Each structure stands twice: as C-alpha cells, then as structure tokens.
Structure 1
Amino acid sequence: MFKKILKSYDYSLIIAIILLSLFGLVMVYSASMASSVQRYEVPSDHFYTKQRLFLLGAAVVFIFTALFPYKIMKSTKFLVPMVGLSVFGLLGLFIFGHVAGNAQSWFKIGPLSLQPAEFVKIFVIIYLSAVYAKKQAYINKFNHGVLPPLAYLVIVCGLIALQPDFGTAMIIGLIAGTIIISSGMNFKNITKLILLGLILASPFLIALKGEIFSEKRMERFTVLSNPFEDELDAGFHLANSYIAIGSGGINGLGLGKSVQKLGYLPESHTDFIMAVIAEELGIWGVSFVVLTLAFIVLRGIYIGLRCKDPFGSLLAIGISSMIGIQSFINLAGVSGVIPLTGVPLPFISYGGSSLLQLAIASGILVNVSMFVKYENKYKQQHQEKNSNHQDGNVYQFRT
C-alpha cells in the first residue's frame, strides 16, 4: 500500500519545487552579500545562512504536508481552529506587532520575524475550498450557498488592510476570486458578488482614501512611464531595476558580478532579486525561473482539473493561482508593467514566512496530485479486473 502511494507522487512537480528553491538560495547569497556588509553591517553570508535554515524548516513542513491526507483539512475540527488562529493572530498584531516598512505586519520573535498574513493566504484557500466544496448541491443559492463563507474573507482582508498592507489584502482577494469562479457558481451570482463587493468597499475606500491614495503611493503610477525623470527619488527603485535588467543582456555578467546590488538596487535579495538574476545570468537565468514557475502553476491547474473531489480540485486551483498571482505581481513590478507592491518572488526571494507558507501550499498540492494519481490507478485496475471477470463469465457460458 505505502509503496503504491510513493509511486503515485508527482515527482516532476517535486523536482521543479526543489530546483527553484535551491536556485533561490544561491541567488539570495549572491544578491545580499554586499548589502549585508554595507547596509546591515553583518557578515556577507548573513541572509544566506538564515535562508538556508528557513529552507531546512520548509523541507520538513513540505514533507509533512505532502504525506498528510488533504481530505482531513475539510473537517470542522480542522477548519474552526484554523479560522480562529488566523483572526486572533491578525488582531494580535495591533498589540504585539512589529512595525517595518510603515506596516505593523510582523511578530518579532528574537532574531526571527513572522508575518501572519502570509499564512492567511493558505488558510483562505483551505477554508473557501472546503466550504464551497460542501455547498456544491446549492452553490447557486446566493444567500445560503454563496455569501456565508465570505464573512471570513472580509474580516481577514480588512484586518490586513488596516496594518496597512493593501498589497497582501488585494492578493488574498484575487486568490479568493479564482476559487469562487472555479467553484461552479453561475455568472449571475458572480456578478452579484462583484457589485456587493464594490458597495461594501466604498465606505472603506472613502475613509482611508488619504492612506490608500497617498502622494507616495500615487508616485508609483506616475514613474511607470519614465522612472529616469525622477531617478533619485520616486523612480529610484525602478530605474535601477531597468539598469540591472538591461546590463545583463543575453548571457549576463556572471554569477556574483552584479553591479546594481552594490548599494544601487534596494532590497536586492527580496523584492528585486529577479533584477539581480537578469543582470548576472541574463535571459537564461530569467527563463529558468519564469518557465519553472509556469510549470508549477500549470501543473497545479492540471491536477485541479483531473481531481474528481471538489475540495481537492479547488485546493489545487487556489494554490496554483496564489503562486501565479504573486509571481506575476513581482515580475511585472520589477519590469515596470505595474506599480511596485513589495511582493516577494515565490521560492526565490529571501523570507522565512513566505518560504514556510509556500512549503505548506506546495506540499498540499503534491498530496492532492498523489491522491488523484493513486485513485485513477486504483479505478483503472478495478475496471480491468471487472472486465476480465465478465469476459471469463462469458467464456464459461459459451462453453
């Protein structure tokens, strides 16, 4: 039995995740070695050493979630504590939270920082997938099937926005939207939800318009057309990102030879790590990251489409959409397609909370894939046995 389960794992997906994570570890060291000494006054391998520890912890979490039967997570005994932990965790930030980057989004635990909002992403995916899977029989009854699960979504997004962290709240909203669209809900109810969302969000937008549409935030839009017009202030990040990407060309300057990471490109090991990859490894390094991320996302969607269990299907699609949305926002921000939002690049950027959350999510995805493959094999073998048995009966009858 156990051997059959091991044979059912999607090893191409596992290998892609491992390769991307190890590549990210190498690039974290390369991107942070100068800023560690110059800006943070710590040893050059400071962030590399911490990321390596995060990666070891993430590997343990990944193995556990890959072996843990995902169907257990749709039980009330699992969902209720998860919802309570996420809400109280976000509320606790307003009392015990650590402020960084103008947002009170972290718990400081000794030398480590924990960002609850990262884990809320996967909690929202699990919760909405479980509830909408259970409501399949009446998914199009707006008041009974559609609305109730969204109370949790509104609460966590509101608490995250108040930190303020509008980027993460927006990402969670987009992930939830993907799950809702994939749940089997009809277009009429989806339209109702959009209109209701706009109505409910209007007072919130009006009350916080000074914070949401502040001059500093609006500058991120104005510099998109030409960041070099204000390259020492509002366009500083994007201008240096352009220089890094342009300097790399096709073959890159070579691993460790980036110039922009030497104090010119802020957050070179987190938000702008792709710019360093482009400068050092050229189009080949960028292609490796983009194609591997695309493979993970498309593979996850394929798993979701093949899964006959509504909960597993929504889980796979939700996790894939999370990785895809975060990847797009980071890559589009670094290349100037959309305003910068400070979203890390999945599996590549430095960050313990992000890496652990991705380990949980990708482990669940691998687990869903295993069940899909195992159950399909079992059904196929069962059908072949029935077919052989029927053929034998026919032969005996004829003789």
Structure 2
Amino acid sequence: MRKYLAYFVRNFDYPLFFTYVFLCLFGLVMIYSSSMMVSIVYEDGTPDYFYRKQLLNLVVAAFAFLIGAFFPYKHFSSKKLMKVLLFFTIFLFIWLLIDGYEAGGAKSWINLFGLTMFQPSEFAKLFIILYFAGAFYRKSLNNPMENLEPNNIVYPIIVWLVIILFVATETDLGAVMIISGIAVAVIAASGIQFKKFMKFFAVLAGFGSALIGLVLLVKGDEILTQNRLGRIKSFLNPFEYEGGSSYQIINGYIAIGSGGLEGVGLGQSIQKLGYLPEPQNDFIMAIISEELGILGVIIVLGGLGFIVFRALTIALKTKDPLARMISAGIASWIAVQSFINLGGLSGLIPLTGVTLPFISYGGTSILLLSFAMGILINVSMYVKLEKKKG
C-alpha cells in the first residue's frame, strides 16, 4: 500500500487536478452569487440555500473523485462490473418511467428514498463511456479493432440504442445528443479503420433516427410541446417572442451585453434579481459574463478547454486502447455538453436545458463528472508510468 501511495503521489496529474478543483470552487462562488434572489424568494429565505446544497454536493463528489483516482481504471470497465451497472442503469430508467419527476419540461429525475434527487441520464453518460471502452477493448484482445466489422459489436450498439430510447422517452434531447456524441467519440478512439468507422456512424445515425422517429410517433404530443416549439421559434427569431418563449434568452443576452470587458462586479448582477429564471443552472454563464465580463468567460472556457485538451493528449499518448477510449469519451462528454450549454445561451443552437460542466448547480452532474475526472487522472498516471517504462 505504501509503495502504491508513493507511486500515486509521484505520478499524480497536478495541473489537471488543480484545474478541476478551481472550476468547482469558481462554480460554487458563482452559484452563490447568481442564486441569492432565487434562494430568498423561492426556497427557505436564506441567500445561501443553493450554495449550501452545492457545497454538500462537492463534499460527496470529492469522495467519488478519490475512488476514481485511486483505483486502477481497468477495474471500472471489467466485464462483471459492467453487467451489474447495465442492470442498474436499466433499473434506474424503469424507476424513472414509473415514478419520475418532471423539471424543465423533461421527466428526468427520481427520488432516491427521500435522500436526494438523482438524474439517470447523467449516470448513463459515464456508463456508456466505460461500457463501450470495456466492450471494444475485450473484442480487440482476440481480433484487432481495425479488423472488426459492425456485426462484431452488435451487443454494445444495442445497449446504446436502449439507453438512447430510455433517455428520449424522458424528452431530454440534450442528453440524447451528449450520449450520442460520447458513443461516436469512443468508437473513433478505438483504433477502427476510418471506412469502418463511417459504417458504424451510419448505423448509429440510422438506428438513432429510427428510434427518434418511433418516439416522436408514440409520444409526439409530449415531446413537441408548446414550450419546445417555442424554443425553436425563439432560436429562429428570438426578438419576435421576447415576452414569451424568448424571455430567458433575451434576458441572457442583456446579461452578457451588460458585462463588457470587466463586468459590473461580483454580486452586482441585475438580471439575477428575478429577470433571468433559474440563473444558477444552465444560464449561469450569462451571470458570469455580466458580473465578471469577458475575462470571467475566458477563465471558464480556458479551464474547460484545458481539461478537454489534456484528456485528448492523454488519449493520443497512451498505447493502451482502453485508456485511449476512456480519455476520449470523457473529453467528448465535457466538450459536447459545454458546447450545447453555451450554444443555447448564445443562440447558436436551440435551448435544451443542459448544465455547464463543473460550474452549474447540480448534485448528480458534479458527482459523476468528479468520478470521471478521478478516472481520467488515474489514466494519466498510467500514461506517465508507461512513458517511463518505454
């Protein structure tokens, strides 16, 4: 144990760790600043309601991070564990279908025995990374990935489609896009030939489109609600619906435009005073822009960009296909989710209600992202050791 601890400290990826910690603490400060009015008006009357809850979330997330970082990453993709996690994931989604809670237009939350609210789609993001990476890695032991055909990995694709179907029935379209992006990234990092990768991509796109079509056919009225149609109209012409479906987007624009280069000052936002709904969640970057200006935005984007770049660098350096796929999957998770959040905020894409990694308020998100960061740091330590031996 002492020898392993010495190896752990010596090879620990400190730049990646401190960037992760900084983003979490920065997010905690901005959650307190952005949610003060919401806390007073809608919760228990104290301005630090969401701050205290997120602080507790971070304490729990710290333990998840340590587990991910301390135990060798190969354990998390073992065949036995993946079977258990597959049944657990399906169980969570069935629970959600039977007794789920709706928030933000999506039925995506379950109450874990009165202890906390949990979002199965967040768990599914991490599960798909580990499941795909482990399944493809085991296949490559007997048959190199470049020789694999789509019919050789039918089972993982079926699992992915089942997960997508469950998430689509929640009408959580943002999670569908993120999980799809993760699946494509892991397959691309597996070492498969480009032509065969394009076949995989075509198969995924075809089956995914068919599933989306089926869900729309069965639950079209629930998915294409006036709220969602309003988001599409708002995306096409936000200022035409500024008093209705574009209300949040327009106030987000006002917050961003008010910040300028240096911002109006920490805690001095006007839009958080009842104008911008739920500012501590998916629109927290608008408050950051208003209070800290472009410099605050650059700090957040720089931190997220560094984590994604570091993860991709780890994936490119390692000779272990399992480590490469896990790193690429985590990088794609953070990158795609950040793009969807910021794209909706800035008007590049329609709003989907996706949170900003490490920054927005949310217990399930920070818990699983922290566990993923622990695994990524464990992979980074392996790559350092691999480099020394090579």
TM-score for the superposition, normalised by structure 1: 0.91
**How far, CA to CA, are the matches of 1:111 and 1:78 in structure 2?**
25
Task: Kindly provide the amino acid, as one letter, of the partner of residue 84 in structure 2.
Answer: P
SS, match of residue 265 in structure 2: coil
> 1:314-371, CA deviations, whole angstroms, 9 ceiling, x for partnerless residues?
0011001101111111111111111111000000000000000111110000000011
Task: Kindly provide the amino acid, as one letter, of the partner of residue 9 in structure 1.
Answer: F
Distance 1:303-1:226 versus aligned 2 partners, 3 A rule: same
**How far, CA to CA, are the matches of 2:234 and 2:259 in structure 1?**
23
- 1:146 corresponds, among 143, 148, 153, to 153
**How far, CA to CA, are the matches of 1:130 and 1:120 in structure 2?**
15
Tell me the CA shift for residue 141 of structure 1.
3.3
Match of 2:356 in 1: 345
Tell me the CA shift for residue 188 of structure 1.
3.1
Match of 2:176 in 1: 169
1:112 aligns with 2:116: yes
Match of 1:74 in 2: 77
SS, match of residue 272 in structure 2: coil
1:367 aligns with 2:370: no
**How far, CA to CA, are the matches of 1:198 and 1:84 in structure 2?**
25
- Unpaired runs of 5+ residues, structure 1, are 381-399
- 1:320 corresponds, among 310, 326, 331, to 331
1:250 aligns with 2:261: yes
Alignment of 1:103-252 (within 5 A): 103-109=106-112, 110=114, 112-136=116-140, 137-139=143-145, 140-200=147-207, 201-202=209-210, 203-204=213-214, 207=217, 208-252=219-263
Q: Is the 8 A contact 2:13 2:381 kept in 1?
A: yes
Tell me the CA shift for residue 206 of structure 1.
5.0
Tell me the CA shift for residue 151 of structure 1.
1.0
- 1:275 corresponds, among 280, 286, 295, to 286
**How far, CA to CA, are the matches of 2:21 and 2:89 in structure 1?**
28
Match of 1:89 in 2: 92
Distance 1:151-1:229 versus aligned 2 partners, 3 A rule: same
Tell me the CA shift for residue 19 of structure 1.
0.5
- 2:299 corresponds, among 285, 288, 301, to 288
Tell me the CA shift for residue 262 of structure 1.
0.4
Match of 1:385 in 2: none
Q: Is the 8 A contact 2:308 2:331 kept in 1?
A: yes
**How far, CA to CA, are the matches of 2:77 and 2:236 in structure 1?**
47
Q: Is the 8 A contact 1:4 1:374 kept in 2?
A: no
Q: Is the 8 A contact 1:138 1:145 kept in 2?
A: no
- Unpaired runs of 5+ residues, structure 2, are none
Number of residue pairs matched? Answer: 379
Task: Kindly provide the amino acid, as one letter, of the partner of residue 323 in structure 1.
Answer: I
> 1:77-120, CA deviations, whole angstroms, 9 ceiling, x for partnerless residues?
21111111111111111123223233322122436211111111
Tell me the CA shift for residue 205 of structure 1.
5.3
> 1:256-314, CA deviations, whole angstroms, 9 ceiling, x for partnerless residues?
00000001001100010000000000011111000010000000100111111110110
Q: Is the 8 A contact 2:190 2:324 kept in 1?
A: no
Tell me the CA shift for residue 187 of structure 1.
3.2
**How far, CA to CA, are the matches of 1:279 and 1:146 in structure 2?**
48
**How far, CA to CA, are the matches of 1:215 and 1:146 in structure 2?**
40
Q: Is the 8 A contact 1:227 1:235 kept in 2?
A: yes
> 1:122-165, CA deviations, whole angstroms, 9 ceiling, x for partnerless residues?
01100001111222225343254332211111111101111222
SS, match of residue 108 in structure 1: strand
Alignment of 1:368-387 (within 5 A): 368-377=379-388, 379-380=389-390
SS, match of residue 294 in structure 1: helix
Q: Cα RMSD (Å) of the superposition?
A: 1.7
Query: Which range moves more in the overlay, 212-221 or 153-162?
Result: 212-221
Q: Is the 8 A contact 2:231 2:351 kept in 1?
A: yes
Q: Select the structure of larger CA radius of gyration.
A: 1
